[in-house]
Structure formats: structure tokens, C-alpha cells
């Protein structure tokens, strides 16, 4: 049934310009990597998308192989979109990607023109869309000439199947090269999607500066380190958490005594700021002016509400930042 969104949905959210483009993205975006697959509750997924949109989250991020099974997150998102939100399509920025394992054989992985174009066609069918707003190459391919991969992205924009293109997990040199090829073809590279959190600060080692120089946006994934930077694991491993679930990329073995010491220290800084650890983790990635949006995941509506409220307290004192640095070791240059 059609969802009637809150009329106040644009009152609280901040929208940041994506690099030097015309597109703005919400400071918090929602990713459907986990919890929207065929194995998950469609009703819970539906409730999270409704609430996210009501809170001003206009950007939903997918990939061909999100599920499990592969493709099922796009199918479920398509179902929800078609039945509940279709008249709001022009208020949404929908992204998908290809670059990881998707179908068997030599044409369902990495970065060939053959794979990327076929994969986007499949994604559009699954979601019931004529175009996506952003199509990403999901990871660099060391074997395919970058000219071929970027040529496929350029073609995708020209064919109207995506309005913009982006790259994910490219290092600064690869980024510089990819963006140059695209620019020569006449298609700007809108955005980079790297991982970034207090526990993984690699993009401070040159990528953020590169993106700034190139005028690209930056949407950072796993800002909560998949849930480690929340109060989820401070007192054990809840059975419904990502770490406890089979087949996820977060293992129980990551909840070590050393990690818990670190997490509890960060939690006490957050409490002094009047925030939860999860909220501080979002505010912290957003402190960098180059970061356009924090790309969160969620397993329930209340988590989305909590994370969006992080934007109420975005500022850090130099003392707080130094304390966080002393716990999480910044990248040294």
C-alpha cells in the first residue's frame, strides 16, 4: 500500500553537496547490504525504509549481490518501492553496483564491459526501474584495462541507465587514473564509496585529499564498523546481532578483550557528549568536510532513528578528538 510520508521529512536532515556536482545527498544514507535479503523479514525491511524516508533519508544504496541470496535485496527494495513509494521516485537517489561475484563463469565478476552492462540491466529489472541514480564499479579490477571499465561506466550514463557513476574501494592512485579516463570521455565521476570509521582510518592517508582535489563526493560505508562501534557488544554477543549470525562478514572472534577495552573507552567519551557510541561514530565520520554522507546499515527502525539523531550533536572539541585519536590510532602521514 502506498506510504504517506511525513510532511516534515525535510525539516531535520542535512543535505550535503556531493563534491562539485549538482547533486545533494542526505548526511545519513541507508544501505541494504544486510537485512533486506530473501532470508529476512520483508515487513521489517519495509518499516525501515518508510521510517528512513520519513526522517529525510532520500538515498538508498544497493548492489547486485546484496541478499542472501544474491539479487534478493534489489528484488525486495523493488517490491517496496513499487507498492509504497513509487510516486516519490523523483525524491529518491537509488544506487547499485557491480564488481564482486554475481553469477557463475567468467562474465559475472570484476570489471569487464560485458559484466557491468549486463549486471546493471539485471539490477534494473529486479528493482523495476528504468534507471538508477548512481551506478558504481564496486572494486578495482587489476586485470581489466581501466579504460574498458570506465568506458562501460561512460556508456551506462550515455544510455540513460544511470544518471551518475561512482567507484568504490579504489585507492588514491587508482581513483586519480579512473577519474581522468572518465573526464576524457566526458563523464564526471560523481562519488567514491570507501569504508571509514574510528576503527579503520585508511582514507585519511591520502584518499580524502585526492577526492577534494578532484571535486568528488565521498560516501563512507560501515561507519559503525558493522556494529562494533555501538553498544551492541559491550556486554556480550546478542543472538540477533550481526556477529552472531552465520554467513556475515563480522565474526564473533572480532569481539576480543582488547577490542572491548577500546570500545568501552570510546563509549565513555560518547556518554560525556550526551550521545550513544553509535551516534558519536556517525558524528565523527561526518566531521571531515570531504565526507558527503554516512552510509549506515540497520536491522530495526529504532537504530535508524538513533543514528539520524546523531546529527543534533555534530561538533567535537579538540580534546575529544585527541582522546579518540589516542584510542584509535589515526593514519600517520
**Candidates 6-14, 221-229, 254-262, 311-319 — which segment interacts with ligand NDP by CB under 6 A?**
221-229
DSSP state of 291: -
Site size toward ligand NDP, by CB under 6 A: 29
Q: How many CB atoms lie within 10 A of CB 73?
A: 29
CB 219 within 8 A of CB 265: no
Which residue from 23, 152, 278, 280 is in contact with ligand NDP, where contact means CB under 6 A? 278
Q: Which of 226, 275, 292, 293 binds ligand NDP (CB under 6 A)?
A: 226
Instruction: Give the chain's length.
Output: 333
Distance of alpha carbon 166 from alpha carbon 182, whole angstroms: 10
Is the Cα torsion angle 221, 226, 228, 234 positive or negative in sign?
A: positive
Q: Is 298 in the site for ligand NDP (CB under 6 A)?
A: yes
Asked if 179 and 149 count as a contact pair (C-beta separation under 8 A), the reply is no
Q: Residue 7 CB, nearest distance to ligand NDP (Å)?
A: 26
Query: What is the largest distance, in Å, between two alpha-carbon atoms of the chain?
Result: 53
Per-residue interface string for the shown chain with ligand NDP, residues 56-75, x marking contact by CB under 6 A: -----x--------------
Residue in 32, 48, 199, 270 binding ligand NDP, rule: CB under 6 A? 32
- Given 5, 299, 308, 324, the residue binding ligand NDP (CB under 6 A): 299
293 scored as a contact of ligand NDP (CB under 6 A): no
Does 307 engage in binding with ligand NDP (CB under 6 A)?
yes
Q: How far apart are CA 204 and CA 328, in angstroms?
A: 13
Residue 26's DSSP bridge partners are 15
Q: Which residue has the cell 529518491?
A: 92
Find the shortest distance in angstroms from Cβ 290 to ligand NDP.
17
Say whether residue 48 binds ligand NDP (CB under 6 A): no
CB closer to ligand NDP out of 149 and 241: 241
| Residue 102 and residue 64 in contact, taking contact as beta carbons nearer than 8 Å | yes
- Using CB under 6 A as the binding rule, the residues of this chain from 191 to 220 that contact ligand NDP are 193
In the complex, what is the shortest distance from the CB of residue 23 to ligand NDP, in angstroms, rounded to a whole number? 18
**Of residues 223, 292, 293, 308, which one binds ligand NDP by CB under 6 A?**
223
Subset of residues 77 to 136 that bind ligand NDP, contact rule: CB under 6 A: none
Among 146, 191, 218, 224, the residue binding ligand NDP under the rule CB under 6 A is 224
Per-position x/- string for 151-190, each x denoting binding to ligand NDP as judged by CB under 6 A, each - no binding? -----------------xx---------------------
Helices 42-54 and 301-308, interaxial angle, to 10°? 20
Give 264-285 as a DSSP string: HHHHHHHHHTTS-HHHHHHHHH
Contact 153, 116 (CB under 8 A): yes
Closest distance of CB 77 from ligand NDP, Å: 11
Beta strands 24-26 and 15-17, pairing class: antiparallel
Nearer CB in complex with ligand NDP: 33/70: 33
Annotate 207-269 with DSSP letters as a single string: HHHHHHHHT-EEEEE-TTGGGTTSSTTTTS--TTSGGGSTT-S--GGG--HHHHHHHHHHHHH
Interaction site with ligand NDP (CB under 6 A): 31-34, 61, 138, 168-169, 193, 221-227, 230, 232, 241-242, 278, 295-299, 303, 306-307
Amino acid at each position: 500500500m502506498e506510504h504517506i510520508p511525513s510532511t516534515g521529512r525535510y525539516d531535520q536532515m542535512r543535505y550535503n553537496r556531493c563534491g562539485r556536482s549538482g547533486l545533494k545527498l542526505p548526511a545519513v544514507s541507508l544501505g541494504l547490504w544486510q537485512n533486506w535479503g530473501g532470508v529476512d523479514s520483508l515487513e521489517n525491511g519495509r518499516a525501515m525504509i518508510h521510517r528512513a524516508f520519513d526522517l529525510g533519508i532520500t538515498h538508498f544504496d544497493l548492489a547486485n549481490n546484496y541478499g542472501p541470496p544474491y539479487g534478493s535485496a534489489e528484488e525486495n527494495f523493488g517490491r517496496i518501492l513499487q507498492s509504497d513509494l513509487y510516486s516519490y521516485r523523483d525524491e529518491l537517489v537509488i544506487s547499485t553496483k557491480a564488481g564482486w561475484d554475481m553469477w557463475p563463469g567468467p562474465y559475472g565478476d570484476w570489471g569487464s564491459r560485458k559484466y557491468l552492462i549486463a549486471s546493471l540491466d539485471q539490477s534494473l529489472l529486479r528493482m523495476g526501474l528504468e534507471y538508477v541514480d548512481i551506478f558504481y564499479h564496486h572494486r578495482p579490477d587489476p586485470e581489466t584495462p581501466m579504460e574498458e571499465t570506465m568506458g562501460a561506466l561512460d556508456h551506462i550514463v550515455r544510455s540513460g541507465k544511470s544518471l551518475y557513476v561512482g567507484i568504490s574501494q579504489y585507492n588514491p592512485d587508482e581513483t586519480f587514473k579512473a577519474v581522468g579516463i572518465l573526464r576524457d570521455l566526458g563523464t564526471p565521476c560523481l562519488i567514491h564509496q570507501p569504508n571509514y570509521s574510528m576503527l579503520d582510518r585508511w582514507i585519511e592517508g591520502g584518499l580524502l585529499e585526492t577526492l577534494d582535489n578532484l571535486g568528488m563526493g565521498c560516501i563512507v560505508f560501515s561507519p559503525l564498523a558493522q556494529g562494533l562501534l555501538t553498544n551492541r557488544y559491550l556486554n556480550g554477543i546478542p543472538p540477533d546481532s550481526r556477529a552472531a549470525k552465520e554467513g556475515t562478514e563480522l565474526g564473533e572472534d572480532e569481539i576480543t578483550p582488547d577490542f572491548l577495552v577500546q570500545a568501552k573507552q570510546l563509549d565513555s567519551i560518547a556518554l560525556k557528549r550526551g550521545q550513544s557510541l553509535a551516534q558519536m561514530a556517525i558524528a565523527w565520520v561526518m566531521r571531515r568536510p570531504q565526507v558527503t554522507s554516512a552510509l549506515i546499515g540497520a536491522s530495526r527502525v529504532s537504530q535508524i532513528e538513533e543514528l539520524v539523531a546523531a546529527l543534533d550533536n555534530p561538533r567535537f572539541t579538540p580534546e575529544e578528538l585527541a582522546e579518540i585519536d589516542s584510542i584509535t590510532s589515526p593514519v600517520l602521514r
